[in-house]
């Protein structure tokens, strides 16, 4: 039931900047804050951006988030090999009572 749309893949070489988009609607991204999760292979998701652009303690400042209208973006600057993972955006949705909706996920590959 992925409601938010992300590109399936993104890639870059070490040191480059990679940007992942997340498209939603007025009932989710358009009216709610966006979070981003990183999921390394075989592990649980980890929150890397909350409230559109805030980093939890311990998350490198290479990770940044932004939101405009019904879309959001996650940027990873100075890409490192350990950033290779799946990334998911997420937000509450007003049209689906009590539901927290996720993006389709983007696999980031470090070339």
Partner 1 sequence: QVQLVESGGGWVKPGGSLRLSCAASGFTFSDYYMSWIRQVPGKGLDWVSYISTGGSAMYYADSVKGRFTISRDNAKNSLYLQMNSLRAEDTAVYYCARVFEGGADYWGQGTLVTVSS
* Binding-site ranges for partner 1 (CB under 8 A): 1-2, 33, 35, 37, 43-47, 50-51, 56, 88, 90-92, 97-105
- Give the nearer residue to partner 1 in terms of CB position, either 16 or 95: 95
Q: With contact defined as beta carbons under 8 Å apart, do 20 and 7 qualify?
A: yes
Q: With contact defined as beta carbons under 8 Å apart, do 80 and 110 qualify?
A: yes
d(CA 3, CA 65): 19
- Give the nearer residue to partner 1 in terms of CB position, either 18 or 103: 103
* Shortest CB 15 distance to partner 1, Å: 29
- Give the nearer residue to partner 1 in terms of CB position, either 8 or 61: 8
């Amino acid at each position: 039931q992925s409601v938010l749309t992300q590109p399936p893949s993104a890639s870059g070489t070490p040191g480059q900047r990679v940007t992942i988009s997340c498209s939603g609607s007025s009932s989710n991204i358009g009216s709610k804050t966006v979070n981003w999760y990183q999921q390394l292979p075989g592990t649980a998701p980890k929150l890397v951006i909350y409230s559109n652009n805030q980093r939890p303690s311990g998350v490198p400042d290479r990770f940044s988030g932004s939101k405009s209208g019904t879309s959001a973006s996650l940027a990873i600057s100075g890409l490192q090999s350990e950033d290779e993972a799946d990334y998911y955006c997420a937000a509450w949705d007003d049209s689906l009572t009590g539901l927290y909706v996720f993006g389709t996920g983007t696999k980031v590959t470090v070339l």
